[in-house]
Amino acid sequence: MDRKNGPAVRFDGLEKSFDGGASFAVESLSLEIVGGSFVALVGESGSGKSTLLKMINRLVDPSAGTVKIAGEPVEEQNPADLRRHIGYVFQNIGLFPHMSVAENIMIIPRLGAGEIVNTVPELLDLVGLPVDVSERLPSELSGGQQQRVGVARALAGEPGLMLMDEPFGALDPVTRDQLGETYRALHDRLGLTTIMVTHDMAEALIIADRILVMSEGRIVADGPPETLLAGEGGAEANALIAVPKGQMAKLRKLEERS
């Protein structure tokens, strides 16, 4: 896979209400995500971050406003066609249980997204899996291996943009850390634009270039990890950062004692 620069993503006055305007999952949101950047969307459950992510690949349609990818409004594109060119990875993985690993990975090319650019062995190698898993069924793999297949499946469509919804949320901490690192390296190598939803501020701080903190449908903090760590992100961001910071302080104390 060649390095290329992922597209920019732009939200203009984006709104989503599931109850006809009584309350908003996402409220009049406008901002630009630079092509090639790694953005983490952080917030508590119900803050609207997943809804925002799903409006990008039209799994959810906005009540108002537009999403543009590389300047093109998404609502003007056929949803199936649009999604084949956007990588989508989510917490529950959703591998097709009746298809082998290889069939799962090759599903997007099979749907008719154009010629096959990458082979199964190349994609498996990219996500750090041995070639001999390709004939296995998803149920024969561990959770971490399954999510690696999930990432490989998303990459098979040659996307410039990757949308990840709590991608590593269901994995054990070691696997989660490893997969996070593997993915960040891939992001850099392939020159992707990545938008990742997570409720784990520590993960966001470590992996992303830019962090957006959401609360009740609004962006309440926006900045690089350094700025947020310096306490310049505002009250909500500070509250979220306080958790990992506090844990670290406790761990350090324990270390000093021994």
Partner 1 sequence: MNPRLQEAFEQVPALLADHVLLSAAALLLGLTVALPLAVGASRKDRLRQFALGAASLVQTIPGLALLALFYPLLLALNSLLAPLDVALPALGFLPALLALGLYAVLPILRNAVTGIVGIDPAIIEAADGVGMTPRQKLRLVEAPLAAPVVMAGIRTATVWTIGAATLSTTVGQPSLGDMIFAGLQTQNWTLVLVGCLAAAALALTADALLGLIESGIAQRRRWMIGTGLVALLAGVTLALAPLVLAQSRSDVVTIGAKGFSEQYILARLIGDRLEGAGYEVRYREGLGSAIAFEALARGDVDVYVDYTGTLWTNAMRRNDNPPRDEMLEQLSNWISETREARVLGRLGFENTYAFAVTQETARRHGLQSIDDLAGVAPQFTMGTDVEFLNRPEWTSIRTSYGLDFAATQSYQPTFMYRAVESGRADIITAFSSDGRIAASNLFVLSDPRGAIPNYDAVLMVSPGRADEERFIAALTPLLDAISVEAMREANYMVDRDAEKASPSEAAQWLAEQIAR
User: If binding is defined by CB under 8 A, does position 239 make contact with partner 1?
Assistant: no
Backbone angles phi, psi at 155, to 5 degrees: -80, -20
Q: How far is the CB of 108 from partner 1 (least distance, A)?
A: 5
CA nearest to 68, candidates 29, 18, 12 = 12
Residue 34 vs 170, nearer CB to partner 1? 170
Given 16, 49, 68, 83, the residue binding partner 1 (CB under 8 A): 83
Task: Please tell me whether residue 169 adopts helix, strand or coil conformation.
Answer: coil
Q: How far is the CB of 88 from partner 1 (least distance, A)?
A: 4
Q: How far is the CB of 80 from partner 1 (least distance, A)?
A: 5
Strands 26-33 and 9-16: antiparallel
Q: How far is the CB of 45 from partner 1 (least distance, A)?
A: 17
User: If binding is defined by CB under 8 A, does position 81 make contact with partner 1?
Assistant: yes
Given 2, 71, 76, 97, the residue binding partner 1 (CB under 8 A): 97
User: If binding is defined by CB under 8 A, does position 224 make contact with partner 1?
Assistant: no
User: If binding is defined by CB under 8 A, does position 64 make contact with partner 1?
Assistant: no
CA nearest to 55, candidates 35, 19, 37, 29 = 29
Q: What is the DSSP string of 172-216?
A: -HHHHHHHHHHHHHHHHHHT-EEEEEES-HHHHHHH-SEEEEEET
Given 33, 41, 52, 108, the residue binding partner 1 (CB under 8 A): 108
